[in-house]
Structure 1
Amino acid sequence: MKPRVVRRGLMVDDSPVLVDEDLPLAPIAGCPETPPCLQIAEVSEGVSTRLKAGGRPVLLATAQGTTNTGSRWQVFEPVQTKLEAA
């Protein structure tokens, strides 16, 4: 899955951070389930209560939730670790 991210002034390793509203409409590729999970329906954990970008809560490495089929998703390997304000 590769969500479309809007630049909001907060970067991690030269990439814009994900915020809560980036994932719900992001397509999911390669879901092995039937019917296939096509998009994220909910982000239930891993939403920052303090850090915001563009007024929206930043998603953390602990982000997880459910897909349109009710299956769970989670971040397995965050590759961005260093925050920089732009």
Structure 2
Amino acid sequence: MPLNLFKSYKIIDKDRIRLLDGLVNKFIFDFKVFIWEYRNVKLADLEHQKGINAKMKKLANKSKFVVNKLDKIIYHDKSPLISTGQSFPLGGTVY
């Protein structure tokens, strides 16, 4: 046999009904505000992370560009301009 916990609990006063209704509505409103603020913070974090990722991608592309330029300077037509054992007019040898 189920036990009715609210058997003896009766709200007769209309002011109490309005008070409970107001409290429930305030709770729902506060919860919606909390979710909205949390969502905005998460979106701001996401936008910030996207900005960081875009900067990192630009830096990586710039680095690739510099490496490619250096490769073209050092290895012209796939033969190195500087080979090991080559001596220079100013002195010194590359090993």
TM category (shorter chain) comes to: under 0.3
- With structure 1 as the length reference, what TM-score do the two structures score? 0.15
- With structure 2 as the length reference, what TM-score do the two structures score? 0.14
Of Structure 1 and Structure 2, the greater helix share is in 2
Of Structure 1 and Structure 2, the greater strand share is in 1
Which one has more relative contact order, counting CA pairs under 8 Å at least 6 apart?
1
Query: Between Structure 1 and Structure 2, whose CA radius of gyration is higher?
Result: 2
